[in-house]
Amino acid sequence: MGELRALIFDVDGTLADTERDGHRVAFNRAFARSGLHWDWSVELYGELLAIAGGKERIRFYIKEYQPDFEPPTDLDKFIADLHAIKTRYYQQIVAEGAIPLRLGVKRLLKEAREQGMRLAIATTAALPNVTALLEHTLGSDSPSWFEVIAAGDIVPAKKPAPDIYHYVLETMGLEARDCLVFEDSNHGFWASSQAGLKTVVTVNPYTQNQDFSGALLVLTDLGEPDQPFTVLAGDAGDWKYLDMSLVHHLHSVHSD
């Protein structure tokens, strides 16, 4: 039985509910700032989340919803510039404290660090967005807690491709059996699974009806001692919130 050596976290929807009231709002502000009469409603954004990556999401939206749109410049440059504006708005939203961490995240990270557990991030989010979220929710030194922050375009193929998880494992010099992953969406879960990684899923309103067959646990959130999680799939035993003892239990029970 291998020893658990690292925890790998997705960011958007996993560490914090960033999508609906963070990224979506930032996209809409960027559209308005650029003179575009586009509006991504809560419902539409839920559909657009099927496309991983912000720039990819804009490209898909233009193709499917604005087929007659003619960009003022080269399309790739237009999308890159628009996404850069969106990123600045997102960082403003984060700096305003509008996006708190999800239940149990801060506690689990603290416990993991106290035990000397290695930590990493694997996300399609742009690196500036990741560091902004970490610094404003966990403190200015918190990016240094993570041995690897694999973000954005660091690999060519984004989730659901497993590339970003392969990158993290290679960079850390670890095997899949050494790690446990935390994700919130089927794209993320498929990516980690294809990389051979065992995964705990904490759903959010956008992902609660997705298929997570094969996940170690599917939970409403990580929970707290006075705010227990609800188990949607899997066996959490007598645990009412996810702490490092449950993490080690899951890893040992499901080790090959």
**What is the domain-level CATH number for residue 32?**
1.10.150.240
Asked whether 212 and 189 are in contact (CB, 8 A), the reply is yes
Q: Could you tell me if residue 1 is inside a domain?
A: no
Q: How high is the pLDDT of residue 141? A: 97
Q: Is 163 a catalytic residue?
A: no
Radius of gyration of the chain (CA): 18
Q: How high is the pLDDT of residue 72? A: 83
Q: Could you tell me if residue 112 is inside a domain?
A: yes
Residues 88 and 204 in one domain: no
Residue of 12, 184, 221, 243 marked active site = 12
Residues 113 and 224 in one domain: yes
Q: How high is the pLDDT of residue 254? A: 80
Q: How high is the pLDDT of residue 152? A: 86
User: How do residues 95-122 score in pLDDT, each as one tens digit?
Assistant: 999 999 999 999 999 999 999 999 999 9
Q: How high is the pLDDT of residue 256? A: 60
Say if residue 209's pLDDT is above 90: yes
Q: Could you tell me if residue 75 is inside a domain?
A: yes
CA nearest neighbour of 87 among 26, 31, 132: 26
Alpha helices in the chain (DSSP H): 24-33, 42-48, 54-65, 75-95, 105-114, 127-138, 163-172, 186-194, 244-253
Q: How many domains would you assign to the chain?
A: 2
CA 208 to chain centre: 15
Q: Is 256 a catalytic residue?
A: no
Q: Could you tell me if residue 192 is inside a domain?
A: yes
| Domain closes at, from 76, 95, 114 | 95
Q: How high is the pLDDT of residue 153? A: 87
| Domain closes at, from 73, 95, 117 | 95
| Domain closes at, from 46, 77, 95 | 95
How many Cβ atoms from other residues are within 10 Å of residue 129's Cβ?
24
Q: How high is the pLDDT of residue 13? A: 94
Task: Give me the domain span that covers residue 54.
Answer: 19-95
Which strand ranges, in their side-by-side order, compose the sheet holding 198-202?
Answer: 148-150, 118-122, 6-9, 179-183, 198-202, 217-219, 231-234
Structure tokens at 234: 């899997």
Mean pLDDT of the chain: 95
Structure tokens at 76: 């790739």
User: How do residues 48-76 score in pLDDT, each as one tens digit?
Assistant: 999 988 999 999 999 999 999 998 879 99
Residues 107 and 228 in one domain: yes
Say if residue 255's pLDDT is above 80: no
Say if residue 24's pLDDT is above 90: yes
CA nearest neighbour of 15 among 112, 155, 153: 112
User: How do residues 212-227 score in pLDDT, each as one tens digit?
Assistant: 999 999 999 999 999 9
Using pLDDT thresholds of 50, 70 and 90, give the confidence band for residue 139: very high
User: How do residues 144-181 score in pLDDT, each as one tens digit?
Assistant: 999 999 998 899 999 999 999 999 999 999 999 999 99
